[in-house]
Every structure is written in structure tokens, then in C-alpha cells.
């Protein structure tokens, strides 16, 4: 049976607060005081620690409370260096303690990225330090907008209003530069001034106490009033378990969605309508909103997958491009350098990325800008341009934070993080615009891609054989078509010439061999391929000496997961290929190699 008291407990608000600050500026003392003065300590704990100090002839410090509580972890008391629990009359708090030492910056950002608000401690005597600035910068980058700056150790500066005002002025200016506003409270953690109750030692201060200030923080409600964004986590089909639903799953970051809403998935631009909103073990409901992890079924069977962002056609759409202007901070020991491939994660999308340009590097400690650097070093914060291999969908961080921030992975580790300031134009913009319009207008039949894959026992796929002239691409393509056909596959060799004089007749007749022509030619070839792939075909195409740029055009028009690049010839190439074959080698061996590749990728099923 539930009591009214119990009901109230469940309904009580929870808030995570990170406490940050330079080493020895007094974080533990402030937390210890807060615990003691809000009666959040286990019974007798305070007396016990005081007694222990007396016996060891050591002056008592509130910081010892935390150490003592840490000692008790093994006895099951739920306090740890990382998380401290306490409650005010208003709500339940978890204080996430962020180590002040610079070596622990990644722990600090981990803690802070889970917090809704922050306490930033600055020693009145020592003043604003390197880490005070660095931590402030991280908080702003992590999207924390509610900050209380605790100017601690006022007892050591004779409670001087002037000292406090100087610290406040200096740090306010710094915060303003990085777009943050904060409440300032002068305190002495040691003496308990202005932590939970106002102190008469600082009668010049009539503002809120630390506790009142954090109680004044507002719990940010899930952003339901923003445009709908749901990064697709996955598409599930549990056919084997007798479940016919094709479920597009994800967590709604912002906005809301209802049955009947028309959705567009970015970056592909594919469109469909919400048929049902699915959940397990709850009554059917036709809507879902920010914060919920749900599943959708769609009316039209489009092929979407992890990494795309679902938006409603009736609302502002996300940006799509492969060049991003960002603010980035770097936690890796090795710097982020140009010419090296990294991975970027935005929403649920993971994509290859390179550092294209460093606009400005700031030393995180003093925010002194350096415009001459061409790399981003350990603990640097930088404005830079990143370019991704394929275009990604995102929002500007200031508009929708959740889809406007990213991390950079280097050598299996998350080494950088940041926010997207602006989407920049890239070279593929002309193709992408066509493709998005095409996908948006694309009419789907009743037969889904999965249905076709099941019928033909294969997933549609483009085998793109490229290499220099005269290496034997065409004979291989034809032999491959014949072989697969004999084996019962649904396969087609698309002769390039067949396109050149048909689909391309208008541009071919102009007889100019400019690069624009070649790209348009490739785009058209890719469009034809796209139709045939949609029909479930394995399509074999040859093309002379594809460059990275050419490949990007094709990848923009055709879902790049469907493309298998085979490079033929003894000349090396810098394009990313799935398979390299010798020139004019044995056709049967080459065919076998391609078949094995398709089997390994699960495109054709064994045997």
C-alpha cells in the first residue's frame, strides 16, 4: 500500500549538479558544509569525525567528511568521490564531483556532460586560475547554462567586499566572452558563511545563499516545443519471432511525433508517414515526445538505417553537408592533425572525418588565441573546419543542442568533443540537392526492399569495377554477369556506353570534356544504378580511373553501403576500395574473389 509520503518521494524532482574548480579551491569543503548544514549526513557522522580529529590533534575540516564517507563505501553508504547525494526542501540533488586537477579533464567533462547545472568554486585569495577558466569554457561547450560561481575562502581575505568584486568582475567578463552568465556567491566553506544561511560577516552581501541559488535553478523540461528530431538508432525486424513489424527505433531528442505525421529522414531525404508509435508493456498511445525511447512503424516501406535523423516535414529541417565549422576541445595526448582520418559521431551517425582547417586555437587556460597553429593539441580548444567523408545531418548547437554536438574518435578512443556552429557549403552540394529532391519525391510501391531481398536471396548491390584503361575491366564485368546469372542471381551488367549515348545524349552532344561534364555523367549513371538497385539487382558497372571526387558523386547519389569498389590493375590507387585485383588476371579467379567478397558482406548468401 502506498502512503501519501511515499507518493511524494517518487514525485520529488531530481537534479544532477557538477562541482568544478581548481585544485585546493575548496570543493570538498563546500560539499562537506552543504551536507552537514542540510542534515544530509548519516547520524553521528559529524561528531565522529570531529572526535577523530580531536584525538589526533588535527583541526577539523569539513572536507574530511567526504573522505570519511569515501572510506565507508564498502559498508554500503551510497556516497563516492564521484557522486554525493543530498536533498533540500525543494528537491533531491546528486553532486557530481569533478576532479580539479588538469590530468582529470576527461573525468570532468564526463561528469559535467551528465549535469544540468554547475557549481564553480574559485578561491577568493588565489583568484581566477587557469582551471577556473578552462572549466568555465568546458561547461559552456557542454551546454550547461545554469552556473553558480562560489567565491570561497572569504574568511582568508577578511571578508573583503572589494576582493570579491574584483574576482566577480574578472570572471564575469571571462564568462561573457564564452556566452555564459552566472550567479556569484561569496562564501567561506570552512566557516559556513552564505552556504545554507546568510552570514552577518558579509552584511554587504544580500543575495541568495549557495543552497538558495541552486534551488533557484530550473529543471529543464524535455524540449517538446522544438522541431522533432529522432536520430535513428536502428531498424528492427523480428520476423523469425513471428513479428511482422518493421520498427524504426530511437530516442526523441526534441519535439514530438504523432501517428499520421509525415517524416523525412536526413541526410537521404527519404519520406514516409508514421503508421504507429510502438512501446512494450504500456497501453497503445498515438504520440510520443522528447525524452522517450520509442519505436515507429511507417506507412511507406522506405529503406532507412542507423545514423539518419528523422524530422517532420511541417517543421524546420536539419542541415546536411560534409563541411562543418565547429568549436572543438581535444583530450588526446597526440594532437589532432590534418591529413589523418578520424571518426566523428553526431547523433547516431558515425562517419570518417578530417581536420580541414584550424581557424583559431585558444589555450584553454587563458583563451589567448593563436592563429598560426595547424593542429589541435592536448587540452586545446579550437575553432576549426571539419570535413566528413559523406554528408551528415545535424543542427546548429545553439538551436538544437542534442543534434548539434559531436565527439571525435581516434584509435578507438573518444579524444575530442565539441559543438557545431555552422554548416559550410561543400562540393557535393549540387548532387545532393538533386538526390534529396529525388528521394523526397520518390514513390514507393508495396514491395519493400526486404521483401525483394527475401525473394531473390540477395541484397541489391553495385559492383563498381574501376582501374586504368586496358586492364580488363569490361571482360571481367561481363564474365561476372554471366557467372552470377548461371548461378541463379538477379544480375545485370550496365555498359557505360549504353548510358553515354542515351541518358547522356544531351550533354554528350556538346562534345566538351570538362570536369563538370564528367561529374554530371557520373551522376546520371549513379541515378540509373539507383533505380536498378531499388529493383533488387546486383549491378555490375565499369568506369575508367575513378578518383575520390568521382566516387563521392556516386556515393551521394547511391547509398554508399550498397557500393563495392573493385580496383583492377597493378597501378596503386588512393581511392578506398573493397577489393584489389591484378590487371588482366584469370577471369575465373577474379570472379571468385568478387563472389567471396559479396558473401562475406552478406549481400549474397552462401553457398
Partner 1 sequence: MDHLDRLESTSIHILREAYANFKSLCMLWSIGKDSTVMLWLAKKAFLGHVPIPLVHIDTSYKIPEMIEYRDRLTKEWNLDMVYGMNHEALKASETFPAGNTDRLTCCKMLKSEALRNTLSGRWPRHRFNHNLGKYEIDKNAEPFTGVIVGVRSDEEGSRSKERYFSPRDRENDWDIADQPPELWNHYKTDFAPGTHVRIHPLLDWTELNIWEYIERENIPTVSLYYNQGDGKRYRSLGCAPCTNPIESEARNVSEVIEELRSGQLSNIAERSGRAQDSEDGGGLESLRRDGYM
Find the shortest distance in angstroms from Cβ 6 to partner 1: 6
Q: Which is nearer to partner 1, 343 or 385 (CB)?
A: 343
- In 3D space, the residue among 406, 395, 400, 403 whose CA is nearest the CA of residue 231 turns out to be 403
Q: What is the CA radius of gyration of the chain?
A: 30
CB nearer to partner 1: pick between 328 and 499: 328
**H helices of 178-287, where?**
210-215
- Find out whether the peptide bond into 267 is cis, omega within 30 degrees of 0: yes
- Residues contacting partner 1: total by CB under 8 A: 62
What is the spatial distance between Cα 593 and Cα 409, in angstroms, rounded to a whole number? 32
DSSP 607: -
Closest distance to partner 1 from the beta carbon of 335 (Å):
17
Q: Which is nearer to partner 1, 172 or 301 (CB)?
A: 301
The smaller minimum CB distance to partner 1, of residues 414 and 500, is found at 414
Residue 531 Cβ vs partner 1, minimum distance, rounded to whole Å: 29
**Using CB under 8 A, which of 38, 107, 166, 448 touches partner 1?**
107
Note whether 402 binds partner 1 by CB under 8 A: yes
Residue 42 binding partner 1, by CB under 8 A: yes
- Residue 434, interface with partner 1 (CB under 8 A)? no
| Closer by beta carbon to partner 1, 4 or else 574 | 4
Q: How far is the CB of 249 from partner 1 (least distance, A)?
A: 6
75 binds partner 1 per the rule CB under 8 A: yes
Binding status of residue 90 toward partner 1 by CB under 8 A: no
Query: Nearest Cα to 538, choosing from 468, 576, 580, 591?
Result: 591
CB of 101 to partner 1, least distance (A): 12
Which residue's CB is nearer to partner 1, number 23 or number 293? 293
> Least distance (Å) from partner 1 to the CB of residue 28?
17
Candidates 153-161, 313-321, 343-351, 496-504: pick the segment binding partner 1 (CB under 8 A): 343-351
Among 40, 60, 83, 196, binds partner 1 (CB under 8 A): 83
Question: CB 395 → partner 1: shortest distance, Å?
Answer: 14
Query: What does the block give as the cell for 482?
Result: 554471366
Residue 196 binds to partner 1 (criterion: CB under 8 A): no
Q: Which residue among 39, 73, 313, 498 contacts partner 1 (CB under 8 A)?
A: 73
- Residue 284 near partner 1 by CB under 8 A: no
- Rounded to a whole number of angstroms, the minimum distance from the CB of residue 203 to partner 1 is 40
Burial of 548 (0-12, 13-18, 19+ CB in 10 A): exposed
According to the binding rule CB under 8 A, does residue 109 interact with partner 1?
A: yes
- Determine the longest span between alpha carbons in the chain, in angstroms: 99
- Options 32-40, 74-82, 147-155, 477-485: segment touching partner 1 (CB under 8 A): 74-82
For partner 1, the closer of residues 412 and 509 by Cβ is 412
Taking residues 286 to 305 in sequence order and writing x for each that binds partner 1 by CB under 8 A, - otherwise, the string is -----xxx-x----------
Rounded Cα–Cα distance for residues 291 and 195 (Å)? 33
Smallest separation (angstroms) from partner 1 to the CB of 408: 10
Residue 502: exposed, middle, or buried by beta-carbon count in 10 A (0-12, 13-18, 19+)?
exposed
For partner 1, which is the closer residue by CB, 345 or 432? 345
Interaction with partner 1 in 112-171: which residues (CB under 8 A)?
A: 113, 142
Pick the closest to residue 141 from 319, 406, 333 (CA basis).
406
In the complex, least distance from residue 36 CB atom to partner 1, rounded to whole angstroms:
18
For residue 502, how far is the Cα from the chain centroid? 44
379 contacts 134 by C-beta, under 8 angstroms? yes
Q: Quick one: 194 or 348, whose CB is closer to partner 1?
A: 348
d(CA 131, CA 603): 53
Alpha helices in 190-347 (DSSP H): 210-215
How many other β-carbons are positioned within 10 Å of the β-carbon of residue 550? 20
587-606: which residues touch partner 1 (CB under 8 A)? none
Residue 158 CB contacts under 8 Å (≥ 6 apart), including other chains: none
324 with 353: CB under 8 angstroms? no
Window of 383-391, 402-410, 436-444, 502-510 that interacts with partner 1 by CB under 8 A: 402-410
Residue 586 touching partner 1 (CB under 8 A) = no
Angle in degrees, CA 111, 84, 75, rounded to 5: 120
Half-sphere exposure for 81 (CA within 13 Å, toward CB) = 7
| Pick 89 or 282: Cβ nearer partner 1 | 282
Residue 416 near residue 331 (C-beta atoms within 8 A): yes
- Compute the least distance from the CB of residue 106 to partner 1, in Å: 4
Kindly state the DSSP code that residue 216 receives in the 8-state scheme: T
Q: How many residues does the chain have?
A: 607
Own/partner pairs, 439-447, CB within 8 angstroms, 24+ separation:
439/268, 439/269, 439/270, 439/271, 440/264, 440/269, 440/270, 440/271, 442/270, 442/271, 442/302, 444/272, 444/300, 444/301, 444/302, 446/301, 447/301
Touching partner 1, residues 230-249 (CB under 8 A): 233-234, 236, 238, 241, 243, 245, 247, 249
Q: Given the rule CB under 8 A, which residues bind partner 1?
A: 1-3, 5-6, 9-12, 14, 42, 70, 73-78, 80-83, 106-107, 109-110, 113, 142, 222, 233-234, 236, 238, 241, 243, 245, 247, 249-251, 278-281, 291-293, 295, 306, 331, 343, 345, 348, 402, 405-407, 409, 412-414, 417
Amino acid at each position: 500500500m502506498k502512503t501519501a509520503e511515499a507518493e511524494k518521494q517518487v514525485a520529488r524532482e531530481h537534479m544532477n549538479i557538477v562541482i568544478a574548480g581548481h585544485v585546493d579551491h575548496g570543493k570538498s569543503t563546500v560539499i562537506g558544509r552543504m551536507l552537514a548544514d542540510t542534515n544530509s549526513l548519516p547520524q553521528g557522522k559529524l561528531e565522529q569525525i570531529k572526535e577523530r580529529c580531536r584525538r589526533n590533534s588535527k583541526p577539523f575540516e569539513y572536507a574530511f567528511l567526504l573522505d570519511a564517507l569515501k572510506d565507508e563505501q564498502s559498508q554500503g553508504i551510497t556516497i563516492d568521490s564521484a557522486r554525493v547525494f543530498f536533498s533540500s526542501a525543494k528537491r533531491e540533488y546528486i553532486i557530481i564531483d569533478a576532479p580539479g586537477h588538469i590530468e582529470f579533464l576527461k573525468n570532468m567533462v564526463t561528469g559535467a556532460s551528465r549535469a544540468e547545472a554547475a557549481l564553480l568554486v574559485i578561491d577568493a585569495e588565489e583568484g581566477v586560475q587557469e582551471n577556473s577558466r578552462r572549466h568555465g569554457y568546458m561547461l559552456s561547450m557542454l551546454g550547461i547554462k545554469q552556473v553558480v560561481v562560489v567565491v570561497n575562502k572569504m574568511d582568508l581575505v577578511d571578508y573583503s567586499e572589494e576582493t570579491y568584486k574584483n574576482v566577480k568582475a574578472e570572471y564575469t567578463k571571462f564568462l561573457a566572452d564564452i556566452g555564459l552568465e552566472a550567479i556569484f556567491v561569496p562564501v567561506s566553506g570552512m566557516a559556513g558563511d552564505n552556504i545554507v544561511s546568510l552570514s552577518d560577516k558579509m552584511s554587504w552581501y544580500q543575495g541568495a545563499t549557495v543552497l538558495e541559488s541552486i534551488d533557484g535553478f530550473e529543471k529543464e523540461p524535455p524540449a517538446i516545443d522544438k522541431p522533432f528530431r529522432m536520430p535513428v538508432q536502428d531498424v528492427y525486424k523480428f520476423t523469425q519471432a513471428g513479428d511482422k513489424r518493421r520498427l524504426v527505433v530511437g530516442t526523441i531528442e526534441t519535439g514530438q511525433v504523432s501517428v499520421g505525421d509525415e517524416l523525412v529522414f536526413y541526410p537521404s531525404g527519404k519520406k514516409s508517414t508514421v503508421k504507429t508509435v510502438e512501446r512494450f508493456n504500456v497501453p497503445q498511445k498515438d504520440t510520443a515526445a522528447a525524452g522517450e525511447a520509442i519505436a515507429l512503424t511507417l506507412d511507406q516501406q522506405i529503406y532507412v538505417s542507423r545514423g539518419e535523423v528523422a524530422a517532420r516535414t511541417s517543421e524546420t529541417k536539419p542541415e546536411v553537408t560534409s563541411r562543418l565549422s565547429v568549436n572543438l576541445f581535444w583530450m588526446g595526448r597526440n594532437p589532432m592533425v590534418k591529413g589523418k582520418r578520424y571518426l566523428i559521431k553526431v547523433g547516431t551517425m558515425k562517419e570518417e572525418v578530417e581536420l580541414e582547417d584550424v581557424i583559431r586555437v585558444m589555450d584553454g587556460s587563458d583563451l589567448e588565441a593563436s592563429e598560426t597553429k595547424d593542429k589541435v593539441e592536448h587540452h586545446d580548444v579550437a575553432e576549426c573546419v571539419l570535413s566528413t567523408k559523406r554528408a551528415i545531418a545535424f543542427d546548429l548547437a545553439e538551436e538544437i543542442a542534442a543534434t548539434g554536438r559531436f565527439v571525435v574518435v581516434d584509435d578507438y578512443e573518444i579524444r575530442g568533443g565539441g559543438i557545431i556552429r555552422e554548416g559550410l557549403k561543400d562540393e557535393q552540394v549540387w548532387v545532393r540537392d538533386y538526390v534529396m529532391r529525388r528521394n523526397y519525391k520518390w514513390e514507393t510501391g508495396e514491395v519493400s526492399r526486404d521483401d525483394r531481398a527475401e525473394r531473390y536471396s540477395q541484397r541489391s548491390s553495385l559492383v563498381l569495377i574501376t582501374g586504368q584503361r586496358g586492364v580488363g575491366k569490361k571482360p571481367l564485368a561481363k564474365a561476372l554477369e554471366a557467372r552470377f546469372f548461371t548461378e541463379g542471381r538477379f544480375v545485370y551488367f550496365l555498359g557505360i556506353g549504353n548510358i553515354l549515348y542515351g541518358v547522356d545524349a544531351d550533354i554528350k552532344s556538346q562534345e566538351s570534356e570538362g570536369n563538370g561534364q564528367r561529374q554530371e555523367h557520373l551522376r546520371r549513371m549513379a541515378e540509373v544504378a539507383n533505380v536498378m538497385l531499388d529493383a533488387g539487382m546486383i549491378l555490375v558497372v565499369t568506369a575508367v580511373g575513378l578518383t575520390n571526387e568521382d566516387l563521392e558523386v556516386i556515393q551521394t547519389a547511391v547509398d554508399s553501403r550498397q557500393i563495392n569498389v573493385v580496383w583492377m590493375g597493378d597501378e596503386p590507387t588512393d581511392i578506398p576500395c573493397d577489393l584489389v585485383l591484378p590487371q588482366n588476371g584469370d577471369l575465373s579467379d577474379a570472379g571468385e574473389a568478387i563472389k567471396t567478397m559479396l558473401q562475406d558482406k552478406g549481400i549474397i548468401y552462401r553457398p
